[in-house]
Amino acid sequence: MEYDVCLLEDLEVATAKRFDIEGLRLAVVRLQDDQVHIVDDRCSHADYSLSEGELDTKELTLECWKHGSAFSLLTGEPQCFPATKAVKTYETKVQDGVVKVFVDE
């Protein structure tokens, strides 16, 4: 299924923002222009919000502020401990200024 998340203009460049859509908690990252990535907002180590963590626009990671695991925006895999499980990544696109997410049923 495809869902509207937000307007692209709602996202500042080089930031992450949380959106709750259809029971999912998503960390939506805008790198530049209309380059957007979406991963699960909930850290795989404990229930902390990745969108409140630090974004690395070169490494393409989002770092959990609680214990420092950095997750790849491309694969969801943690790049360092203590997290050992990936967070889910979502297919996304920007269409007519609207950020969309694709969710498996």
Say whether residue 48 binds ligand FES (CB under 6 A): yes
Say whether residue 66 binds ligand FES (CB under 6 A): yes
Least Å distance, CB 12 to ligand FES, is 23
Say whether residue 64 binds ligand FES (CB under 6 A): yes
Describe the chain by its helix, strand, coil percentages, rounded to 5: 5, 50, 45
How many residues touch ligand FES under the rule CB under 6 A: the total is: 10
- Contact criterion met (CB below 8 Å) for 78 and 84: yes
Among 17, 18, 25, 67, binds ligand FES (CB under 6 A): 67
List all residues 6 or more positions away from 68 whose beta carbon is below 8 Å from its beta carbon: 80, 82
Least Å distance, CB 65 to ligand FES, is 8
By CB atoms closer than 10 A (0-12, 13-18, 19+), residue 66 is middle
Q: Which residues bind ligand FES (CB under 6 A)?
A: 43, 45-46, 48, 64, 66-67, 69, 82-83
